[in-house]
Chain A
Amino acid sequence: KNEVEQSPQNLTAQEGEFITINCSYSVGISALHWLQQHPGGGIVSLFMLSSGKKKHGRLIATINIQEKHSSLHITASHPRDSAVYICAVRGKPLQNTGNQFYFGTGTSLTVIP
């Protein structure tokens, strides 16, 4: 079983396009994270969400707690956005999921100039 599902697995876009990556989860959560991983590089946290919407520059993340779904949007995409984007959720300790994170398999994004 996979507590976190992401789509698409791979995504190729032309520079300037609007990009959406989706994440669905099946466990009760306290927060959802969007992470970015560049090839051969470490993992960086982009957003932590527990409700609503957040925006950092060209990146926007939304979450719908009732539907257990989150989206990451990139406006005016650029080749430097090429990376793997990972959705991760943190369980609620009271639901016996501990304080652990559950990770999606990632979406590999390539933005072509």
Chain B
Amino acid sequence: NAGVTQTPKFRVLKTGQSMTLLCAQDMNHEYMYWYRQDPGMGLRLIHYSVGEGTTAKGEVPDGYNVSRLKKQNFLLGLESAAPSQTSVYFCASSYSWVRGVTEAFFGQGTRLTVV
């Protein structure tokens, strides 16, 4: 009963390097989200997915790409990391609206530093 699992938990990248963050959920949730958390700001939505094979841009999508090839996994990619992408990244998942109002479940976060 893992809930939402993010990997890795910590990472340091050099400017220009690429990496992929993995989010996995075992609750059969339709919706998955990637957020970034920066000091003094609320969580900001990067990309989200309402189902397998579908993704959409959030508030701050530039510099990131995502894929949802399997329902349980949502990947966040940084093709060419920049220092402005230094942040804590959170993944979340929830059921869809057709199941009524439901809560979201969050991962433990990934602390990324780009130097």
Contacts and interface: CB of A to CB of B under 8 A. Distances in A.
A and B bind: yes
Contacts of A50: 101
Interface stretch (B18-26, B60-68, B71-79, B105-113): B105-113
B contact residues, range: 20 to 34
B109 to A, nearest CB: 5
Contact of A43 (B90, B94, B96, B97): B90
Contacts, number: 59
Nearest to B30: A99
A42 B104 contact: no
B23 to A, nearest CB: 12
A21 B93 CA distance: 26
Nearest to B105: A45
Interface string B6-46: 00000000000000000000000001010100001111110
Interface string B84-109: 00000010101011000111111111
Interface of B: 31, 33, 35, 40-45, 48, 50, 58, 90, 92, 94, 96-97, 101-109
